[in-house]
Amino acid sequence: MGIHFGVDYYPEHWPRERWETDAKLMKEMGVQVVRMAEFSWFKMEPALGEFHFEWLEEAVALLDSYGIKTILGTPTAAPPAWIVRKNPEIQPIDREGRRRYFGGRHHDCQSNAVYRAHIRRFVTAFAKQFADNPGVIGWQIDNELGNSHGDLCMCSSCRQLYQKWLKRKYGTIEALNEAWGAAFWSQGYNDFDQIGTPLITAAGENPSAMLDWKCYCSDLVVNFAEWQADIIRENCPNHFITHNYMGFDNKVDYYDLGTLLDFVSNDIYPAGHWQKQPHQPENELAACHDVVRGYKKKPFWMMEQQAGMAGWEIMGRALEPGQMSAWAMQSVAHGADAVVFFRWRTCAMGTEQYWHGILGHSGRPGRTYYEAQKLTQTFAKYMDDFEGTMPDPEVAIVHSFRQNYAFDIQPNHPQLRYVEQLQKYYKALHGKKIPVDFVQDMDDLSKYKLVIAPLQYLMTPGLEQHYMDYVEGGGHLVLTMRTGVKDANNLCMTDRELPGRLGELCGIEVPEYDCLLETTGGVLYGKKEYAVEKWCDIIELKGANQIAEYSTGFYRQTPAITENPYGKGTAWYIGTEPGEELMEDIMTYMIGVCGIRTLGTAADGVEMMTRESDDKVWLFVINHTGDEQVYHLHGMYTMLEGEKEEQLLPYEVQLFVGNKFQK
């Protein structure tokens, strides 16, 4: 039996006498794995070179005796006070030049050589100690790399490393001045050593410099993780290495980070107190899972799946009966092979004493425990069958960290957010029960019938060609507003009208545009008028057909959405951000043209998703609402789990199996 369910466990928060009760309860719940120790540096090394792994070995052995395996986390997201006291320079500096001090977590600079020496000493000993431990199966490096490091680190160590990175990239300072457009506001440099980390300025920022800074920061984090992975692999070669991602978070390019991991893991808190209330909509969660699967094009693990009410200083909503299970199985439906719940028991101390776990403060099994037990008993057996399988979507949405960075630097419209834009396209497809992959722009796109590439703002000749080849060969491509605006250095392109060479692909030119600042616009599509937002490209047809026109602005009655046959395929251009209704209708039209399969029909809140082997398809139908629902499936399936076909109880998860549809 493979490993499919687990919990994040902190035995060091509880008396030794309690551990056995925990292990017993875990086993009875169906827990097969725990993650431990990712914040326990002080407990493992209370003073320089004084290692105390015995308590952890005891916990690992005890759990192992109950058949529960361990993943160990390297505790490098929270160096202990004695290190900080000895080497205060390892604490990071923020954009305002302030030091961030000890007392929470993430009080570290990842480039700092002194800090790295501490890590090398500790991780070497840690990995050696557990290399042959039969209870340990793998490692998590650090914890949520990028978390809380948003505006860090600006210290002198980071500055030197940044200068080196720039020198490697540009070779000469003249090349950098050119790439950064340094003629503007007298920003030229004579030497790389004049360049600083981007501390807060009196006014404005250089968009090209900021793009490099963000890429450098990502490279630093990837280097930090790779360097730790090397230490582990050298001393403990037989265990897997993973890392817990945060969905679409963008401090680090997760595709790059994925290359050094055996598999990717993710953390998700749908009812976190910072989320949309009462919880993050399921289509956004689904998109998160799909992008995580895309980071390595492989099934993933959930390393932290929300088990109970979230809370630090304030709390989120309580989870309704069944909600946790529906979210857990949503992760599985989108490609998770294992689900580890955060956390086992609600802890009584520290910042997260209101972050609720499978067990409450009392440690007695209650509603959540029994719900989790029922979940593992129902689904673990099937998860063996489809472990390793992937969904097989016909539609892809292009996702890029660089585009994301560029829009973080200059959103163009104050409310424009790169990921949110992707999510808007995703939502329409999700509602139609169409599985979606997220892909990188230069990936092989040929297996997809439809590729949606929103906001292709930074453009290169190679990427232009890539998109043209895809359509030429029979692909259907959607490009949107703000495409082909800038070169790879975040400088505006000047040698042609927008959207550059892709205008040839789309059969259009965009000589002008309008930013819908503090207003909305309208579009006429078919006989209906629809709301649009944020932006209107003013489009001239150069061979394309108009399929929708603006109904507002001085450019009313000019094209808003166009269609252009090109080679064996079609290029669509959407010059605005469609409101929800237009998005719905335009997607219906496009999936019709592409002949894309839908898994079934049901209201929003009822999700359908598949995982597929060479000959089989596992179909999940998940009710994310507290009401009964009905649905209809397209295709022949046998029900494996569920009360009644075509009907769903509140938060019910149904599982079906069928034969692989021949495409």
Is residue 304 a contact residue for ligand GAL (CB under 6 A)? yes
**Which residue, among 484, 491, 490, 489, has the nearest Cα to 513 in the 3D structure?**
484
**Which of 145-153, 183-191, 258-266, 370-378 is the region at the interface with Zn ion (rule: CB under 5 A)?**
145-153
Is residue 267 a contact residue for ligand GAL (CB under 6 A)? yes
Burial 433-468 (b: 16+ CB within 10 A, else e): bbbbbbbbbebebeebbbbbbbbbbbbeeebbeebb
Cβ atoms < 10 Å from Cβ of 321? 14
**Which of 139-147, 232-240, 247-255, 500-508 is the region at the interface with ligand GAL (rule: CB under 6 A)?**
139-147
Phi, psi dihedral angles at 517 (to 5 degrees) = -70, 125
For the chain, the farthest-separated pair of C-alpha atoms sits apart, in whole angstroms, at 77
**Which of 149-157, 200-208, 576-584, 655-663 is the region at the interface with Zn ion (rule: CB under 5 A)?**
149-157
Residue closer to Zn ion, measured from CB, 50 or 96: 96
Contact 433, 602 (CB under 8 A): yes
Q: Which of Zn ion, ligand GAL, none does 144 bind, CB closer than 5 to 8 A by kind?
A: ligand GAL
User: Could you say which residues in the range 312-351 bind ligand GAL, by CB under 6 A?
Assistant: 342
What mask, x for binding Zn ion by CB under 5 A, covers residues 79 to 118?
------------------------------x---------
Q: Which of Zn ion, ligand GAL, none does 155 bind, CB closer than 5 to 8 A by kind?
A: Zn ion
Q: Which of Zn ion, ligand GAL, none does 304 bind, CB closer than 5 to 8 A by kind?
A: ligand GAL
Q: Catalytic: which of 144, 394, 504, 533?
A: 144
Is residue 140 a contact residue for ligand GAL (CB under 6 A)? no
CA gap 477, 506 in Å, rounded? 9
- What angle in degrees, to the nearest 10, is found between the helix axes of 282-296 and 323-333? 30
Is residue 301 a contact residue for ligand GAL (CB under 6 A)? no
**Which of 29-37, 153-161, 519-527, 625-633 is the region at the interface with Zn ion (rule: CB under 5 A)?**
153-161
Is residue 155 a contact residue for Zn ion (CB under 5 A)? yes
Is residue 514 a contact residue for ligand GAL (CB under 6 A)? no
Q: How many residues bind Zn ion (CB under 5 A)?
A: 5
Q: How far is the CB of 78 from Zn ion (least distance, A)?
A: 16
Residue closer to Zn ion, measured from CB, 158 or 182: 158
Q: Which of ligand GAL, Zn ion, none does 396 bind, CB closer than 5 to 8 A by kind?
A: none
Is residue 282 a contact residue for ligand GAL (CB under 6 A)? no
Q: How far is the CB of 289 from ligand GAL (least distance, A)?
A: 17
Q: How many residues bind ligand GAL (CB under 6 A)?
A: 8
Task: Give the HSE-up count for residue 12: Cα atoms under 13 Å, Cβ half-sphere.
Answer: 17
3-class secondary structure, 525: strand
Phi, psi dihedral angles at 193 (to 5 degrees) = -75, -5
Q: Which of Zn ion, ligand GAL, none does 355 bind, CB closer than 5 to 8 A by kind?
A: ligand GAL
Amino acid at residue number 496: R
Give 449-484 as a DSSP string: SEEEE----B--HHHHHHHHHHHHTT-EEEEESS-S
What mask, x for binding ligand GAL by CB under 6 A, covers residues 353 to 372?
--x-----------------
Q: Distance of CA 49 to CAs 118, 126, 214, 296, 445, Å? A: 10, 11, 35, 37, 52
Task: Report the DSSP pairing between strands 33-36 and 569-574.
Answer: unpaired
Is residue 74 a contact residue for ligand GAL (CB under 6 A)? no
Q: Which of Zn ion, ligand GAL, none does 537 bind, CB closer than 5 to 8 A by kind?
A: none
Is residue 292 a contact residue for Zn ion (CB under 5 A)? no
**Which of 141-149, 161-169, 228-236, 586-594 is the region at the interface with ligand GAL (rule: CB under 6 A)?**
141-149
- What angle in degrees, to the nearest 10, is found between the helix axes of 207-235 and 156-170? 100
Q: How far is the CB of 348 from ligand GAL (least distance, A)?
A: 15
User: Which of 89, 219, 226, 352 is close enough to bind ligand GAL by CB under 6 A?
Assistant: 352
Ranges of H-type helices in 531-658: 580-594
Residue with the two structure tokens 């090349």: 175
Can you say how many angstroms the Cα of residue 181 is from the centroid of all Cα atoms in its chain?
32
Residue closer to ligand GAL, measured from CB, 222 or 268: 268
Q: Which of Zn ion, ligand GAL, none does 352 bind, CB closer than 5 to 8 A by kind?
A: ligand GAL
SS3 per residue for 140-180: ECCCCCCCCCCCCCCCHHHHHHHHHHHHHHHCCHHHHHHHC
Q: Catalytic: which of 38, 45, 284, 304?
A: 304
- Decide if 304 is catalytic: yes
User: Which of 84, 158, 210, 339 is close enough to bind Zn ion by CB under 5 A?
Assistant: 158
Phi, psi dihedral angles at 245 (to 5 degrees) = -80, 175
Continuous segment of H or E residues that includes residue 614: none
Q: How far is the CB of 264 from ligand GAL (least distance, A)?
A: 15
Q: Which of ligand GAL, Zn ion, none does 10 bind, CB closer than 5 to 8 A by kind?
A: none
**Which of 47-55, 140-148, 187-195, 384-392 is the region at the interface with ligand GAL (rule: CB under 6 A)?**
140-148
**Which residue, among 265, 269, 220, 211, has the nearest Cα to 242 in the 3D structure?**
265
**Which residue, among 637, 647, 646, 629, has the nearest Cα to 611 in the 3D structure?**
637
**Which residue, among 297, 155, 289, has the nearest Cα to 217 in the 3D structure?**
155
User: Could you say which residues in the range 398-437 bind ligand GAL, by CB under 6 A?
Assistant: none
Q: Distance of CA 359 to CAs 8, 18, 22, 344, 371, Å? A: 12, 13, 10, 6, 11
Is residue 108 a contact residue for ligand GAL (CB under 6 A)? no
Contact 253, 264 (CB under 8 A): no
Q: How far is the CB of 191 from Zn ion (least distance, A)?
A: 21
Is residue 144 a contact residue for ligand GAL (CB under 6 A)? yes
Q: Tell me the two tokens of residue 189.
A: 């440099």
Q: Tell me the two tokens of residue 524.
A: 């006429």
Cβ atoms < 10 Å from Cβ of 619? 23
Contact 35, 10 (CB under 8 A): no
Residues in contact with ligand GAL by CB under 6 A are 143-144, 147, 267, 304, 342, 352, 355
Residues in contact with Zn ion by CB under 5 A are 109, 153, 155, 157-158
For the annotated catalytic residues, the residue numbers are: 144, 304
